[in-house]
Each structure stands twice: as C-alpha cells, then as structure tokens.
Copies of this chain bind each other. A is one copy, B any other.
Amino acid sequence: MKELKERIVKEGLVIPPNILKVGSFLNLQVDPVLMEQIGEDFANHFAGKGVTKVVTIESSGIAPALMAAKAMRVPLVILKKKPSKILNSNLYQTEVTSFTTQTSYELTLSAEYINENDHVLIIDDFLADGEAATGAIRLMRMAHATVAGIGILIEKSFQPGHDKLVAQGFDVYSQARIASMDKKNGVHFVEE
C-alpha cells in the first residue's frame, strides 16, 4: 500500500538489529487520515470474504482495525493483554511470548463477543515471528470461529511469521512488506 510505504520511508526509524519505530503516525501519535486509507485498503482486499467481525490486539492495532471495521461495516473485537492467567469461564486465554522482548502475556478474548457463527479478519500492526497472530488464531479456534484472513500493516518479511501463517493456509495480506532494513540504507520493501 503506497501511502503506508511512503510514510515508513519518510518517518520510520530503524533501530538495530530488528526494530522499526513508527511512533509518529502509528504507535504513539496516530494519523487518522492514513488510518482511514489503511482501513479502506483492508476492506477492499477482503471484500466478499464474508467477514463478520474484525479482531485486533490492544493497543496499537486498535486504530487501524477500527477503521477497517468501519469500512467493512462490522464490529471490532479487542483482544486484551493480561499479565497472568485469570480463572473465568467467560474468557478464553492463551499465552503469547514475544521473541523480540522475551516477555510473555496472556492474550484474552471475552467469550460473549465471538462465536461459531463468526468469520473473522485479524488485524495487527506488525508481523515478525507471528507469535501474536498465532495466539489470536488459537483464541478464534477456542471460540469455534473461523478466520477469513490476517491483515498486517508492516511485515518484516525477513522474519518467519508470514511463511508460518501461509503454510497453515491463511490468507495473509500485508500492506508494507519489508525485505531488509538497516540504519544506514534504510528500509527496502519486497518487490511485488
């Protein structure tokens, strides 16, 4: 997606080895105009797939996912990150370990908002090792819902997440696919 790639090139900050900071338009400050374009792009890509709900992970996924849900005219469901397991029959939980930070959290879905009639689009800001997306997929299985697709804003294509998800048969659409990045040469996208 052209507008997103342009903003990454213009404002993204590469921090070795593998961190890309996009705080100026996505993670700390949010550009609502760009978010609306991103939401419409997801809606176009996943049009006709029968999506009943958009699902995202707090908190950086919320802005783009809200705009996708608006464009698709479906509700947004937010998966919460909890520090530890909560015993509650109305919650589905699964542990997610971040490779980047080596920390774990319990990804949590309130059972009443997703059920077996749902065909969900999972949206997240970054895809690297695929741990968060895989956790979200596990929660959808616990709720007996099906996954219509996975929409990602920024994919680090040199990390294994994309291939792992595609190998499981998921429709993964990433708006900006980064082939390589370093502080000196900046960001290079996958040729498409």
Contacts and interface: CB of A to CB of B under 8 A. Distances in A.
A76 B148 CA distance: 30
A23 B36 CA distance: 24
A113 interface: yes
A12 interface: no
Nearest to A77: B29
Interface in A83-121: 110, 112-113
Contact of A63 (B23, B36, B76): B76
What are the nearest 3 A-B pairs in CB distance? A59-B59, A32-B70, A58-B59
Interface string A43-78: 000000000010000110011001101100101111
A24 interface: yes
A28 interface: yes
A28 B110 contact: yes
B28 A77 contact: yes
Interface of A: 23-24, 27-33, 35-36, 53, 58-59, 62-63, 66-67, 69-70, 73, 75-78, 80, 110, 112-113
A76 B29 CA distance: 6
A150 to B, nearest CB: 19
Given A58-B58, A78-B59, A66 B35 contact: yes
Contacts of A30: 62, 66, 69, 75-78
A133 B146 CA distance: 40
A63 to B, nearest CB: 5
Contact of A66 (B24, B28, B63, B110): B63
A166 to B, nearest CB: 29
A47 to B, nearest CB: 16
Nearest to A36: B70
A97 to B, nearest CB: 18
Given A29-B77, A59-B59, A59-B78, 4 more contacts: A29-B110, A32-B67, A58-B58, A66-B66
